[in-house]
Amino acid sequence: MVAVGPTAAHPLDALVADEIRSAVAILRDSERVGDDVLFAMVTLDEPSRDTVAGHKSGDPVDRRIRLTVLPGPEASVVEAVVSLASGEIVQWTTHPGMRPALLFDDSYRAILALRDSPEWQEAMRRRGITDFEKVQIDPWPTGNFGDPLEEGRRIARCLSYYRAEPSDNGYARPVEGVLATVDAARGEVLEVRDLGVVPLPSDSGSYLPEDHEPLRAGLLPLEIVQPEGPSFALDGNLLTWQHWTMRVAMEPLEGLVLHGIGYHDGTLRTVLHRASISEMVVPYGDPGPIHGWKNAFDVGEWGLGRMANSLSLGCDCLGEIAYLDAVFCGEHGTPYVIENAVCIHEEDYGILWKHNDLHTSRTEVRRSRRLVVSSIATVGNYEYGFYWYFYLDGTIQHEVKLTGIMSTQALRPGEEPRYGTRVAPDLAAPFHQHLFCARLDLAVDGPVNEAYEVGFEPAPPGEDNQWGNAFRQRVERLESELAAQRDVDPASSRHWRFVNPTVTNGLGTPVAYKLLPGATPTMLARPESSIGQRAGFARHNLWVTPYAPEERRAAGDYPNQHVGGDGLLRWTAADRSLVGTELVAWYSFGVTHSPRPEDWPVMPVEYCGFHLMPVGFFDRNPTLDLPPSAEHCR
Ligand SMILES: [Cu+2]
């Protein structure tokens, strides 16, 4: 395990528990908040690009901590920034009508209140359930549907599942037809709807090994051994490997955040100033009253950092592993640690390049190896693994691994789902999407970059295309924010290129990185719908904005119960110029999940993501100096 240092030596050092304690104490001592204030989030107030660039080793660091607090049970958030150096509050902003990510405290309050509710208990009894402790209650953020119950309150909508035994898979037995709306901040049940009894499904949905014996045999041990240790080095949160360097942090909402990603090539050449998953949303496609409102923003309503797992060696990660802990603040102002929240290791990745010279029979082949920085979040029924890969040839990849248990609905006898798939005899999983938005704070060989769209098209027939085979590349600069709202187009091999126009390579062309999209949808919900407004970032795959440090999260800072229109939709409406400035690229990607029987009862990993690849960033293959792996390659 790697410990973070006791005092910040670098502006981007990970937050430590003592800093959280100091920040909370400064806020409390100011007497601007009551004793019962709740701390939704305490984070490093990240220094600007300029502050980081200007920092010299040994310089004093004025750490500023941002505290997002709830003064009371109403819908109102205060953000305070404190300076640890001066011990003072340096910024105080009230956000009336905004809600933070669903508090753990609020969730517990909602569960306890609902379990005590006579209407809900009556609904359970109608289904033959009398032991209410056997009901799993899942509170969800509610969205915004203009319901008067939602106004001015922090609301959770609750679904119920039956577990005869504590080890049961609750999602196998949804208590269908019952939906409760709870004022989670006040622990007050506002409404219990019962749309009629549907029998509990028959399949137990167990994924536990003891229920699947005999377990298969034949897989012999596979050990990853690095007898001399891994090839990366970790100094605090500064990670270096081969020519790569970066700082690794865990943020409560975005989870993994990588800063200062650069490549040593004689000098340190930056690629990204900051990279993270800024938001994600899971809109469900079922229009019915029980499931039609479901659409979880798993960053802004839950928090991929807050929900991060403690990873375990040999299970989540295999080989020579280094872990980093996440240090967060509890809702009552006490710091806590998620141990082993970040896994760092190396993976063999097949061949990097090869040529067999048929004239001489000499073969040259090099192994590809990648550095992996990952974390896994459990958000209710789903698991999301976030993997950043760094390759020897300058490629960066982000991959999301989707697994866990699908959100389910019980079927009436003979009912076939219209907006979902039957995955067990009387159980369906609705169609839904998982849509992520990566925020890529670009710094390709320096701060000022330009964005281009690149695609291919057939050349017109004519004298210079006599066989009709010609096709040409179209490269167009994206001049402004509205022009930079773009979608994937695999037929034209469309991708996007981020260029530093002031730096040229040895061939005289400007250095660049390209964003290579994967197969990905955009949001299927209608743009004018509630979710279409609230998750506007998912209407397009690419967005580019001029760098603005406060523009951090694709759906805005407070998507929970938000009416919509915030984030990328609001910022890009100004159609700011993207020329001659520092840029942020936002890439929305994901999957449309058509549930399969094979995804039940637990879903084998599905993958999605993107690559960032050097394009003329180097003058040639930068791995010609890579030695053959002599120990294996004879
Ligand atoms: Cu899914």
Class for the domain spanning 17-95: alpha beta
Distance between CA atoms of 398 and 23, rounded to whole angstroms?
33
The answer to whether the Cα torsion of 436, 437, 441, 445 is positive or negative is: positive
Residue 495 alpha carbon to ligand 1 centre in Å:
26
CA 278 to ligand 1 centroid distance, Å: 19
17-95 against 104-211: fold identical: yes
For the stretch 199-238, pLDDT in tens is 999 999 999 999 999 999 999 999 999 999 999 999 999 9
**What are the φ and ψ backbone dihedral angles of 140, each rounded to 5 degrees?**
-120, 145
Distances (CA, A) of 32 to 79, 84, 298, 329: 12, 17, 31, 19
Q: How far apart are the CA of 435 and the centre of ligand 1, in A?
A: 10
Confirm whether 286 is a catalytic residue. Answer: no
- What backbone phi and psi angles, to 5 degrees, belong to 101? -55, 150
Among the options 168, 298, 445, 566, which is catalytic? Answer: 298
pLDDT at 273 over 60: yes
Q: What share of the chain is helix, strand, coil (3-state, %, to 5)?
A: 10, 45, 45
CATH class of 104-211: alpha beta
Q: What is the pTM for the complete model shown?
A: 0.96
Distance of CA 66 to the CA centre of its chain: 21
Region 118-147: mean pLDDT is 96
Catalytic residue among 161, 382, 387, 389: 382
> Residue 634 above 80 pLDDT?
no
Give CA 115 to chain center in angstroms: 32
Q: For residue 250, which amino acid is it?
A: M
Question: Is 47's pLDDT higher than 50?
Answer: yes
CA of 283 to the centre of ligand 1 (A): 10
Statement: residue 463 has pLDDT above 50 = yes
Span 346-382, pLDDT tens digits: 999 999 999 999 999 999 999 999 999 999 999 999 9
What is the pLDDT, as a whole number, of residue 630? 73
User: What was the pLDDT predicted at 314?
Assistant: 83
Q: What distances in angstroms separate CA 185 from CA 154, 178, 476, one per listed residue?
A: 6, 21, 51
Q: Cis before residue 214, ω within 30 degrees of 0?
A: yes
Centre of ligand 1 from the C-alpha of residue 142, in Å: 19
- What's the 433 CA to ligand 1 centre distance in angstroms? 6
Gap from CA of 423 to ligand 1 centroid (Å): 13
Between the two ends of the chain, the Cα-to-Cα distance in Å is 36
The predicted structure's pLDDT at residue 632: 61
In this prediction, residue 257 carries a pLDDT of 98
Q: Which two tokens stand for residue 290?
A: 């029980």
Does position 2 have pLDDT exceeding 60, yes or no?
A: no
Let me know if 382 is a catalytic residue: yes
Average pLDDT over residues 600-614: 98
pLDDT band at residue 6, thresholds of 50, 70 and 90? very low
Torsion, Cα 283 288 289 293, to 10 degrees, reads 10
Select from 1.10.150.120, 2.70.98.20, 3.40.50.1000, 3.30.160.100 the CATH code of 232-349+370-522+536-558+585-620.
Answer: 2.70.98.20
- pLDDT band of residue 136 (cuts 50, 70, 90) is very high
Q: Residue ranges per domain, the chain?
A: 17-95, 104-211, 232-349+370-522+536-558+585-620
Please write the tens of the pLDDT for every residue from 499-527: 999 999 999 999 999 999 999 999 999 99
